[in-house]
Amino acid sequence: MDTVRQVSVGSKIKDYYEVTKPKIWYLLVFTAFGAALTASLLFDIYLDPMTWALLIGGVAAGSAAADTLTGYNDRDIDAIMERTKGRPIPSGRIKPQNALAFGIILAGISLACAWFINPLAFGLMAFGLFDNIIVYSKWLKRRSQSNIILGGFSGGAPALIGYVAVTTMNIEIGLVMAGLVFLWIPTHIWSLALHVKKDYSAAKVPMLPVVSSEKSSVRVIAGTTVMMVVFSILPFFFNQFGLIYLVTAGVFGAAMLAMSIWLLVRPSEKASWTVFKFSSPYLTALFIAFMVDAGFK
């Protein structure tokens, strides 16, 4: 009986962990960590362990809360799409009301952590939660193809929270880090949407590939990729980053452009999936380059 209870408890913990969509918040927590460490190294500012704990815990809780609550909002369309119907809420492993309560608790934890960092971090955390849960998921996702654009501001919030947790000096660096995530989101999401277009069509979600032709969609994805890669070079001209960052941004940006051109010239599920899968390592590489380059200053 105890073994059965332990298995049941373990399964339930796993379900609640899964409902937070950890693959998403891992990357967002990393951008917050990367921005904070970069600022700390650039300006030789010591960040105490408590602030580090509040930052990592707060961003993790906030991102997990957003993913849980958007999952609650999307439970009906998630049940329709093949890619998402096995998630904890649509599959029935977690009751919707329990997911709602869990998400609210996580959001409260994230705001409390941000408050104890500083008021600016608190404001950014509140903005990020509102933009993702309300603006993107509740208001725009089912109504407008601009959902990813206006909902993308929340994706850049963790990086800026990480930066302001350390300093507001040279705030343009933190803004560019957040801007990189914001510009990365359309390429990342739209390439996925192109790959699973049938799912979004069945759920009547007006993602770009659903409301536009394949030809138009791949052109837009290529255009957003160009903007992202060009924007990624901007930090080099702040005189705070050197060749390590520039070479990394150049090499990974060239690879990102090559994949987008492949998608543009020969649209296919394989090409769109490749762009989607490479986009996360691309963003990760940029933030690693920020940290390493700052460490050599």
Which residue, 121, 142, 169, sits at the end of a domain? 169
Taking alpha carbons only, the member of 62, 107, 71 closest to residue 89 is 71
Range of the domain at 269: 171-297
The answer to whether the beta carbons of residues 106 and 61 sit under 8 Å apart is yes
65 and 202 share one domain: no
d(CA 161, CA 294): 18
The total number of structural domains that make up the chain:
2
Which residues in the chain show pLDDT less than 50? 1, 4
pLDDT given for residue 6 in this prediction: 55
Instruction: Give dist(CA 151, CA 147) in Å, integer.
Output: 6
Q: What is the pLDDT of residue 272?
A: 96
For residue 245, count CB atoms less than 10 angstroms from its CB and return exposed for 0-12, middle for 13-18, buried for 19 or more.
buried
- For residues 48 and 125, membership in a common domain is answered with yes
Considering Cα of 154, then 133, then 120, then 34, what sign does the dihedral take?
negative
pLDDT in tens, 3-58: 545 558 889 999 999 999 999 999 999 999 999 999 999 999 999 999 999 999 99
- Domain boundary at 134, 169, 204, which? 169
Domain boundary among 143, 169, 195: 169
pLDDT of residue 149: 93
Q: Are residues 184 and 54 in the same domain?
A: no
The pLDDT, as a whole number, for residue 145 is 87
- Gap between the Cα atoms of 293 and 66, Å rounded: 32
Query: Do 154 and 179 have their domain in common?
Result: no
Q: Are residues 213 and 83 in the same domain?
A: no
pLDDT at position 4: 44
Sort 244 into a burial class: Cβ within 10 Å, 0-12 / 13-18 / 19+: middle
Tell me, yes or no, whether 135 and 185 share the same domain: no
pLDDT of residue 5: 53
Alpha-carbon radius of gyration of the chain: 20
Q: What is the pLDDT of residue 66?
A: 98
CATH number of the domain enclosing 4: 1.10.357.140
Question: Nearest-CA neighbor of 226 among 257, 258, 265, 252?
Answer: 257
How many C-beta neighbours within 10 Å does residue 3 have?
7
